[in-house]
Amino acid sequence: VFWSCLSGGSRCLVLITVGLGVICVLLLVFIILQHITITAERDLIKSNKNTVEEFKQTINSLQDNHTDLMQKNSKLESKSWSDSRQYCRDRAADLVIINTEEKQVSLFISSIVGESVWIGLSDREQEGNMKWVDNSTLKQGFIFNCRIC
């Protein structure tokens, strides 16, 4: 082609110009695609960085909450049944009455992970006569690894 261009004159210049034009267009398309790819990757990195920061903040918050709960738990563990009940009542609550399977499971899980809990069952009024804090009597069921006074 090159040798024929030397003798062909203007026709050869047109072919060279068109060829260079096609190369320029292809190069421009390549540059645009690279720019789009780099921009998308940069946005993805920013998004991931934000997600990582949010995750770190969540972890820090959970660690702070865990520390607070552990401090409160250590204060609660040293309380007697009566003191624990009063603590609950001061907060418009009371010790738990186990009257559903869900509460039994929840307390069972707490006992597995080593948490000590007071339940709202005692025989304070009459030795051997177990009653819940709402004065209902103990029905058949199981009580597991809980401190009962």
Convert the pLDDT of each residue in 38-91 to its tens digit: 999 999 998 888 888 888 888 888 888 777 777 766 655 667 888 888 888 898
CA 34/CA 45 separation, integer angstroms: 16
pLDDT tens track for 11-44: 778 888 899 999 999 999 999 999 999 999 999 9
- Of 78, 107, 126, the residue at which a domain comes to its end is 78
CA 110/CA 116 separation, integer angstroms: 7
Amino acid, single-letter form, for residue 45: I
Query: Are 55 and 19 part of one and the same domain?
Result: yes
CA angle 70, 75, 76 (to 5 degrees): 95
- Of 50, 78, 106, the residue at which a domain comes to its end is 78
Number of domains observed in the structure of the chain? 2
Which domain, by its residues, includes 111?
Answer: 80-149
CA 75/CA 22 separation, integer angstroms: 79
Tell me, rounded to whole angstroms, the distance of Cα 116 from its chain centroid: 26
Query: Are 5 and 59 part of one and the same domain?
Result: yes
CA 104/CA 102 separation, integer angstroms: 5
pTM of the predicted protein model: 0.40
**pLDDT at site 145:** 45
Beta bridge partners of 147: 118
Query: Are 35 and 92 part of one and the same domain?
Result: no
Query: Are 21 and 74 part of one and the same domain?
Result: yes
> Which CA distances in Å does 74 have to 33, 64, 80?
61, 15, 13
**pLDDT at site 136:** 83
Query: Are 87 and 70 part of one and the same domain?
Result: no
